[in-house]
Structure 1
Amino acid sequence: MSKVQLITETLVDELVTAIEKASSIYILTSFVMKSGVEVLEKSLKRAIDRGAEVKICTGDYLFVTQPTALKKLIQLSEKIEVRLYRSNGKSFHPKAYLFQQGKQDGSIIIGSSNMSRSALTHGVEWSLLMDSSASIVTYEKALAEFMKLFLHEQTVPVNEETILEYENLYNKYHREHPELIRTWTKAEELELMIPKTKEEEVASTVIETKQSYGSITPRHAQIEALEALETVRDEGYDKAMCVMATGLGKTYLAGFFAENYQRVMFIAHREEILNQAKQSFQNIMPNRSFGIYNGIFKEYTSDCVFASIFTLANERHLKQFSRDSFDLIVMDELHHAAAKSYQKVLDYFQPAFFLGITATPDRMDGKDVYGICDGNVAYQLHFIEAIQRNWLSPFHYIGVYDETDYSQITWLGTRYDEEELLAVQLRDEMADKVFESWMNYKQTRTLGFCSSIKQSNFLANYFKSKGVKATSIHSQGSEYTRSDALRMIEQGQLEIIFTVDLFNEGTDIPSLDTLLFVRPTESLTVFTQQVGRGLRLFHGKEYCTIIDLIGNYRNADNKLSLLDTQSEEERKKSATLVPQVPENCLIDFDLGVVNLLQELRKKRQPRIEQLRHAYFELKQDIGRRPSYLELHLHGNANSIEYYQEFKSYVGFLYWAEELNDHEEKVFKAYEDWLKEVERTGMAKSYKMVVLSFMLSRGIQDWMNSVTPVEAAPHFHKYLTEKEYRKRIDFSDKQGKRLWEYDETKVAKLIADMPMSKWSGSSKGMLAFDEGVFQLTFDVAEEYNKTLYSWTKEICEYRLHRYFERRKK
């Protein structure tokens, strides 16, 4: 029976069904988006693998076709044939999908859908499907016309060279015509991140839910991050973190990575994050079992368990699981994990791999998270770089001067005294300044961040008195529920929502185009989270306006570095105080803000005071003097700066009066040795590996002499037990790898490299004579334990930092 069918939604379902059965697949589309390729790539790849013929013809009209889409197509297989129609400005708008099964049977779909995700999934598109039995003549004519166009003299084969040429033309065209299709293509990019249900589209919140078609595949930053994680895993690491800006699909990344593991635990601190993550993982792995483990549900036998950190922190619940219950543990919003409740859980479990994901691992906030993954950052993409790649919305940052003198308000270590702060915030003149700034710069939908519920309610009422559709949403009962408020701001029933910290994580409003900061920035992590609320891409949104009241509060100048494309060193040398933002962004300060920033720069603490402050913050946090490696992993200052200022970590401790009388004597007696261990060059890790062997012999014997043969087993084991060490560092002078143990070759390497070289550069502190390597000074018995401990700390720190740096 012949078939003619009108298709008005989810064309992809019909396409995938046809592709799975076809022996020949011909696609003619006026343009191709990367998102469209990603929708069909798995089905096309399977078809090619089973021997199906695949030909795709697209065009360059108005340079809508993305070069990345063309690259992705030809990467599917060497067997795929792709050609590009050079329109020379002539309209080129065909959209046809032709399929052949065997010699006679086939079908054709003609309509309005180009090869983009929007068109193939949920866009308003009409197509007509007709099988060959309805009209074999029409079907055959369509096949013939396709081949004429495919082989037309105006088409060129798509390969690396022709893509490079097209990419140059594409970039030139869009530099000259930035207004054309830019918003639309950004909307396409938005769809690459996380799919939405119909209910969520109404609410305009991006909650990760199941797609209505086929399998879900990684996209953009997720692909890069997965490749980095695979490399990390192959190199023998068992933990890593991924830093990805809000809006790039961190939860889906975790789900894709979890496909490699049988049992998985996903840990988060908010119930809605757990539920969203569960849905995301189900979308990726529908054949697995999934369960929630929190205060209400105890579904602990599932393949994938989504657990509340607050429930797991209870030992009875934690012990419900054996230590090796899970092959993979994922910690969401890793920046919370410096808290003791997290550390207890992390210390308990022994997974094959631990993955931390976060958007905000800022050292400047103190409780740094890098140490949780041993400093192993597999992938990092902050929001500035994501904006540069057009994966997040640009911003227009407006700095409005706030005359409040915050130096007169008591600082309580992590925040300002609330009552004193409210005394200056809850004034009509302050509210009028906020209102005037908002009116001058706002767009259509605003989220206002306040420092307290009282301030949030006060400003909402003040704005209402001015005729603005405003509300205050917080944790202690509000006029509307959060979901209702989101729906209302999307539909225009609200213009602005004031809140405290309720929207920092787990909830996104893509259509949000204005952010209003009426609170002093106390935490750079929170500031980054809140900025991220407005950077989701959305159809029709050209940029996000950020209106920020800037006063002389703490971190007022530091937070601006988060918007800067310059490196820290470039910022130090820069004559201007204004951050250098991406070219599609804008930054504008009141004169009062510029003057304030100049004043803050003059008053900025000297570096040694910053180092001192960072050290004592960490010491206070962990309750004892941190080791050198702990300072590097957990401190909120760059550890190398301690060496640059004081020539050794112990030298800093001496300056900071952190040494007792006994330790001061040890430091003064052996300062030259400590400086030597800190400063000696490390083109390779070998010196510190030999020193680690000497230290492994214990406190009483570490300073005894050693021969290359004695050091060889430890040396070889250390450099081969971790894949990354082996690949980075283990070869002789000729570059020959020494992965298989050969005592003679390894001993010769040790003699030639660390022992001879270090003795020659150590200013007489080490000697290597007649095959014996030794310290040339004696260590007093009463000082030995302390000097051993310090030497070991430096050795561990330098080895860790060496491989960390080399890996990057």
Structure 2
Amino acid sequence: MKLITNSSNKNFYNQFTSLLQSCKAFYFNVAFINYSGLQLILNDLKKCEEKGVKGKVLSSTYLNFTDEKALAKLREFDNIELKVFDCYSTSIGFHPKAYLFEYEEEYKVLIGSSNLTSSAFKSNIEWNIKTVLKKDDLFIKELFSDFNSLWSSSIDVSEEFLSSYKKFKTEQKSIENFSFKQEFKLNYMQEKALQKLDFLRNNAENKALVIASTGIGKTYLSVLDIKQFNAKKALFIVHREDILISARKSFETMIKDRTMGFFTGNKKDINCDFIFATVQTLNKYYTKFGKQEFDYIVVDEAHHIASKSYEFINKYFKPKFLLGLTATSNRTDEVSIFDYFDDNVACDIGLTEALDKSLVSSFHYFGIEDIKELDYENIDLNNIKKLSKFLMINKRVDFILEKMNFYGFSGDKRRVLGFCASKEHATFMSEEFNKRGIKAISLTSEDSIIKRENSIKKLQSSTNELEVIFTVDIFNEGVDIPNVNTILMLRPTNSSIIFVQQLGRGLRKNSDKEFLTILDFIGNHNRAYLIAIALMGKKRFDKDSIKLSVNNNFANFPNAYIIMDEISKKRVLAQIDSENFNTLKYLKEKFLEFKNSLNLKTTPMMSDFIHYDEYINVLDFISYSKSYEEFLCKVEKNEEYNRVCEDENFLKALRFIQGLLPIKRVYEFALLKYLILNESINLKEAQNYLTKYLINVSKDTISHSFRFLNEEFFDSAQKQRVLKLVFIKENTLYLTVDFKRVLEDKLKKEFFLDSLNYGLIRYEKEFGNIDYGLPFLKLYEKYNMLNIAQLCNFEKIHSSFRGSGFLKYKDDFFLFITIEKDKFTKGAKYQNAFLSKEIFTYSSKPSMSSEKGDGKRLVENKKFGVKLHIFVRKFSHVDKKVQNFIYLGLANTQSFENNKPINLKLKLDTALLDNLYEEFTKVIEEE
């Protein structure tokens, strides 16, 4: 007997589908079946039908919760008998949740709290028991006796029943439901951003940027912060007039004591408290307002702020606070958006975080093996003309329609966005769909904005016949179609970023849909693994973590179901295995993919990668080439980059700065940025400046950072490799003559500031402004041994702060543990393993004895007041690249045995997260 719950590495769904795939018959007795749950097992039910595995499904009309659409779909299967228990005729409630799977000699039974719904499968708090019973077991006989009794007294699901039930449910919906008006409740993004905005203003900052997907409450956030700021007069700027109307409605629902007006081509309400303006009109008439007239200005779609049409904001208006809202941090006109907001990012929410916090709609992704006639073996995915011709075949259209009809959708009307390879492909698809009786159109950049907007309105309408929009070069970002319930990926994935952007077009929450359906037609092209990378985002640690998630149906996504058929799954896993993520060929492809997917006309700077670090890590380029700029010289034809990289001092300085990335404390980078802009900084100035980044600023750590930058903790080899950037005189930090000379070159200075900004903004994303104490360690963050020397304020040469998995500083012991031994790992005879989420084994250094010195303090750490800090990695190297350690917090020695080495059992203060436990303990089975 086994308890089945939903967690980040296991769930009821995986148990359920495993049994359904292997049984010889099945019997379901379940109160509620809705389409969100049924859709997720359609593939398995189809396989049962093909194998001749028969089933009986009994549900009910209890509380009208069972979907008529789900029952209708079940009736399509020839191998399934379907009945419902009529709760209204009998006046009896019906609430069982039992699933019986028959095998040759036994039954495997799931019984507990889970209905056949998507939330019960994976995200709800559910308790279910799995048990295995012989066919002559008394309990099994009792179950079937009761099931057969209920079955005989239930109704066959006929067309007549479905029609009657649907009509009844429709009439029930038309009755006005009870509602209770509650105060507006902040979501995760809004709460996080409001706290940071308040912090920034308390430290004299007057502008900030919010980066978050469409539909998760950025406009409401601006209303809330304007209230928090207590602005008397505010300006809200957009680039499209239709956005103004919805923005004003958002403000009116929350602010009742201010007048509100428009400033557009047709209307100019200049005397209102809150003015909603289009940038086009404001650009012509901004002098109608005083420079300091607005306390607070909001710029929507703020990634456009560097363009000429927004120039007046920076040169004319002087608000007390400027807030930028955007779904992307893409640069325009060769200028970083971060520069315009003084690198103040109030929040930056990516897809995986938005899903984890339920900020977006849940989705059901189906990776489907494409038709066998499509062989990508000799197809260049970048040759769009050839690829389009390859995809434009009628058999594939029929296959796509077959899968659309099979999987269905959430809601009353199908609303589809189909992403194609080219304009020709989009036109072909719309024509073929119309021939088959499904109203469709193609939309591309050649179509007018008016046509695009009218088409979107038709798609959203419940009465218009338009069901599908096929597109290629629009809708990747920024377009808001709330009730889209189906996304079709109709070309091979060649960019994880574009894949996620397209997926995001359907993720806005909306009452017309319960979930988004994504149908991705995966061929045998050699880039299919990008899908897994895109879907994993920051949840991946290395290749193993990606493979674990693929094998586990991405169980660690609480708000999404990601299902690949077996052929697609094997193809993705094989590609992940064979791909080396650290070759120049791979890194160059990733770089060009990034540049092309964002339509960047100029070379991306490091800060351009920050919002996309779930999918591409600029530090991989640095790791390969020692600096980002040297990597650019390898992949871009640019004489200016080649020129600056000929300067040895420039490279020595750049390698030092970028070699510290990702930074684990903010002090050094903040001080360097201040120095580049001001040439000197004393201890008091440093303390004032650092309050922008941290709640608590440590004077001791400032002094240590001064000395670190002054190279006092560098060994002789390090000093030869890097340029000395600063010197200390009378407790003041100054730039050296050599570094000032390098900074005289405008492009070189831009590169240094970009490196520092990247480090500072990424640090804020990962650490916020929290003080983690000394040593400055955050749970589950990644570290190497040299990081620890810096974070302890270690006052000796930092390269000496190394060891064979064991370091110490005063009463802090740092244990660095590699789980899987390989040819790179010294001391492969050590046995380190997790026995549970709290208990793990650890072998000390061979010289340690439990009777004296560090060994005695280790085995009796509580008695001696020693803190044991635990750092773990699974492998020392992946694709020949050294892996960092994950900090798991503090532990205490529970027991020990033997000497030289000592074998210990340690207990973590904080139990491992489910996904980390799986990462460290589960072995990937090779095919």
* TM-score bracket relative to the smaller structure: 0.5 to 0.7
How far apart in 2 are the matches of 1:593 and 1:521?
Answer: 13
Q: Is 1:441 the counterpart of 2:407 in the alignment?
A: yes
Determine helix, strand or coil for the equivalent of 1:258. Answer: helix
TM superposition shift of 1:610: 5.1
How far apart in 1 are the matches of 2:315 and 2:601?
Answer: 15
TM superposition shift of 1:666: 6.0
Pairing partner for 2:254 from 278, 284, 303: 284
TM superposition shift of 1:214: 8.8
Q: Deviations over 1:779-801 (max 9, x none)?
A: 599x7666898478537743762
Determine helix, strand or coil for the equivalent of 1:262. Answer: coil
Aligned to 1:11: none
Pairing partner for 2:623 from 634, 644, 650: 644
How far apart in 1 are the matches of 2:704 and 2:549?
Answer: 51
TM superposition shift of 1:277: 0.6
Contact 2:213–2:350 under 8 Å retained in 1:
yes
TM superposition shift of 1:318: 4.8
Aligned to 1:589: 564
How far apart in 2 are the matches of 1:555 and 1:303?
Answer: 53
Aligned to 2:518: 546
The aligned runs of 1:264-343 (5 Å cut-off) are 264-312=234-282, 314=283, 316-321=284-289, 323-334=291-302, 341=309
TM superposition shift of 1:689: 6.8
TM superposition shift of 1:803: 7.0
| Residue 591 to residue 309, structure 1, CA distance change in 2 (3 Å) | farther
Pairing partner for 2:197 from 229, 252, 269: 229
How far apart in 2 are the matches of 1:534 and 1:232?
Answer: 33
Contact 1:472–1:478 under 8 Å retained in 2:
no
Q: TM-score, normalised by structure 2?
A: 0.50
Q: Deviations over 1:425-460 (max 9, x none)?
A: 554333223222212222352313244776556544
Aligned to 1:667: 647
How far apart in 2 are the matches of 1:692 and 1:730?
Answer: 19
State the AA in 1 paired with 2:588.
Answer: E
| Residue 790 to residue 556, structure 1, CA distance change in 2 (3 Å) | same
Q: Is 1:257 the counterpart of 2:225 in the alignment?
A: yes
Aligned to 2:436: 466
Tell which has more relative contact order, 1 or 2 (C-alpha 8 A, sep 6+).
1
Aligned to 1:352: 320
Determine helix, strand or coil for the equivalent of 1:233. Answer: helix
Aligned to 1:177: 114
Aligned to 1:94: none
How far apart in 1 are the matches of 2:492 and 2:293?
Answer: 44
How far apart in 1 are the matches of 2:436 and 2:632?
Answer: 58
TM superposition shift of 1:254: 1.8
- Count of residue correspondences: 575
How far apart in 1 are the matches of 2:743 and 2:633?
Answer: 18
Larger deviation, residues 688-697 vs 424-433: 688-697
How far apart in 1 are the matches of 2:763 and 2:358?
Answer: 29
The aligned runs of 1:592-741 (5 Å cut-off) are 593-594=568-569, 597=572, 598=574, 602=579, 606=585, 608-609=587-588, 613=592, 621=600, 638-649=617-628, 651-652=630-631, 663=643, 667-668=647-648, 672=652, 675-676=655-656, 678-679=658-659, 714-721=682-689, 723-725=691-693, 727-732=695-700
The aligned runs of 1:718-797 (5 Å cut-off) are 718-721=686-689, 723-725=691-693, 727-732=695-700, 755=710, 757=712, 763=719, 790=748, 794=752, 797=755
Contact 1:690–1:754 under 8 Å retained in 2:
no
| Residue 301 to residue 453, structure 1, CA distance change in 2 (3 Å) | farther
Contact 1:618–1:626 under 8 Å retained in 2:
no
Q: Is 1:497 the counterpart of 2:452 in the alignment?
A: no
TM superposition shift of 1:278: 1.4
TM superposition shift of 1:271: 2.3
Determine helix, strand or coil for the equivalent of 2:519. Answer: strand
| Residue 793 to residue 285, structure 1, CA distance change in 2 (3 Å) | same
| Residue 663 to residue 539, structure 1, CA distance change in 2 (3 Å) | closer
Determine helix, strand or coil for the equivalent of 1:439. Answer: helix
Contact 2:209–2:324 under 8 Å retained in 1:
yes
Aligned to 2:106: none
| Residue 376 to residue 251, structure 1, CA distance change in 2 (3 Å) | same
Same amino acid, percent of matched pairs? 22
User: Structure 1 stretches of 5 or more lacking a match?
Assistant: 1-61, 63-173, 188-201, 203-210, 699-710, 734-745
| Residue 348 to residue 461, structure 1, CA distance change in 2 (3 Å) | same
Contact 2:235–2:294 under 8 Å retained in 1:
yes
TM superposition shift of 1:552: 7.4
TM superposition shift of 1:275: 1.3
Determine helix, strand or coil for the equivalent of 1:265. Answer: strand
| Residue 622 to residue 463, structure 1, CA distance change in 2 (3 Å) | closer
Contact 1:374–1:633 under 8 Å retained in 2:
no
Q: Deviations over 1:682-733 (max 9, x none)?
A: 77666567767876687xxxxxxxxxxxx6x644224414632464534236
How far apart in 2 are the matches of 1:354 and 1:266?
Answer: 10
The aligned runs of 1:371-520 (5 Å cut-off) are 372-400=340-368, 401=370, 403=374, 405=376, 411=382, 416=384, 423-424=389-390, 426-443=392-409, 445-451=414-420, 458-468=428-438, 481-482=454-455, 485-486=458-459, 488=461, 490=462, 494=465, 496-500=467-471, 501=474, 505=478, 507-510=480-483, 512-518=484-490
Q: Deviations over 1:724-780 (max 9, x none)?
A: 2464534236xxxxxxxxxxxx9x888877558357776377698997999999959
How far apart in 2 are the matches of 1:267 and 1:249?
Answer: 17
TM superposition shift of 1:397: 0.9
| Residue 495 to residue 175, structure 1, CA distance change in 2 (3 Å) | farther
TM superposition shift of 1:634: 10
Q: Deviations over 1:582-602 (max 9, x none)?
A: 245332335564466455974
Larger deviation, residues 639-648 vs 253-262: 639-648
Q: Deviations over 1:272-307 (max 9, x none)?
A: 212111121122223323233334333344332323
How far apart in 2 are the matches of 1:593 and 1:182?
Answer: 25
Determine helix, strand or coil for the equivalent of 2:268. Answer: coil
| Residue 308 to residue 424, structure 1, CA distance change in 2 (3 Å) | farther
Q: Deviations over 1:504-553 (max 9, x none)?
A: 7564444x543333356677666545534544556695532211234578
How far apart in 2 are the matches of 1:610 and 1:571?
Answer: 18
TM superposition shift of 1:482: 4.4
Larger deviation, residues 242-251 vs 548-557: 548-557
| Residue 409 to residue 804, structure 1, CA distance change in 2 (3 Å) | closer
| Residue 585 to residue 350, structure 1, CA distance change in 2 (3 Å) | same
Contact 1:514–1:534 under 8 Å retained in 2:
yes
How far apart in 1 are the matches of 2:318 and 2:242?
Answer: 26
Pairing partner for 2:539 from 546, 567, 580: 567
Larger deviation, residues 354-363 vs 426-435: 354-363
How far apart in 2 are the matches of 1:480 and 1:785?
Answer: 49
Aligned to 1:801: 759
Aligned to 1:207: none
| Residue 284 to residue 562, structure 1, CA distance change in 2 (3 Å) | farther
Determine helix, strand or coil for the equivalent of 2:236. Answer: strand
Contact 1:393–1:542 under 8 Å retained in 2:
yes
Contact 2:526–2:575 under 8 Å retained in 1:
no
| Residue 421 to residue 590, structure 1, CA distance change in 2 (3 Å) | same
| Residue 343 to residue 616, structure 1, CA distance change in 2 (3 Å) | farther
